[in-house]
Amino acid sequence: MTAASVHDSALRMYADLPDSFKQTPQMTYDLKKDLFGFQAANITASLQLLRIVLFTADGASIQDRCRVASEVISAFISIPVAYLVAISTPLLHHLGGIGTILGDVLEEPLREDDYNQVRTVMLSMAQLLDNLELIHHGARVSEKLRTQVSKIDEYMNTQRRIEGPQQGTYDLNQPPMSNPNHHGPADNGQISDEINENWSFTIPSDLLSDLNWNFDLGFDSCRFYS
């Protein structure tokens, strides 16, 4: 049995579930009413974890890994934040799995369009962390992730200037900092000039060493039911 067949089978089983196990309405803070929402959130999280594991093991391309990582993050963003906090331990494990995928990609030589995909996923993850940090203030993990993206942008722009003035740059004067009160997709910035498809760069290990995919948002202190 291949990873693709397991993936397709899991998606079919998920599609066959009753809607009550796939939909996560806003939390009412009444345990009986929220029971199906909890189950739906857990099922969604488990399905996304399976997708992460399968694509990590399958040697997928950079484009496929970024696509799956982006879809996983979008699935979590679609779930009301209160449910995400309630399943905090497995959620942070899933986000760490996405981080592992991105970390592996960042260690490879990257064309500019490859990095643009990774960059978009990293900033979407920062937006998801922003939403979670609205519940538990003070962690600011999302801010650290955006800072790391800015450092890599700066390094890439420096390499482009060294290797050829015809290359475009990211606008570092307007870093992609999204509104923390916004729960939708982040504005992830644009490249100012056309991409040279043949140009690539490798991110130095000292920049990557600052990335930490073990997110600690202090959820242990969050309780919704007495």
Q: Give residue 189's pLDDT.
A: 54
The parent domain of residue 85 ranges over 3-221
Query: Is residue 198 in a domain?
Result: yes
pLDDT of 173 higher than 50? no
157 domain-assigned: yes
The verdict on residue 47 lying in a domain is yes
Q: According to the model, what pLDDT value does residue 217 have?
A: 60
Look at residue 180 in the predicted model and tell me its pLDDT. 44
Tell me the per-residue pLDDT of 132-146, one tens digit each, with 9 for 90 and over.
876 655 557 888 889
CB atoms within 10 A of CB 98: 26
The whole-chain average pLDDT of the chain stands at 78
- Asked whether residue 211 carries a pLDDT value surpassing 50, the answer given is yes
What number of other Cβ atoms are within 10 A of residue 188's Cβ? Answer: 17
User: What mean pLDDT comes out for the span 66-83?
Assistant: 88
pTM of the model: 0.74
The yes-or-no verdict on residue 184 having pLDDT over 60 is no
The answer to whether residue 110 is domain-embedded is yes
d(CA 98, CA 103): 9
In a domain, 183, yes or no: yes
Residue 179 clears pLDDT 50, i.e. is over it: no
CA-nearest of 180, 184, 160 to 170 is 160
Tokens describing residue 158: 């420096």
Residue 65 maps to a domain: yes
Number of domains the chain is built from: 1
Specify the amino acid at residue 25.
P
Tens-digit pLDDT profile for residues 96-129 = 878 888 888 899 898 888 999 999 999 999 988 8
User: Whose structure tokens read 């900092």?
Assistant: 177
Instruction: Read off the DSSP letter of residue 29.
Output: S
- Determine, yes or no, domain membership for 77: yes
Residue 16 has pLDDT above 90, yes or no: yes
96 inside domain:
yes
Band of residue 219 on the pLDDT scale cut at 50, 70, 90: low
Please say if the pLDDT value at position 151 is more than 60. Answer: yes
Q: Which residue has the higher pLDDT, 89 or 202?
A: 202
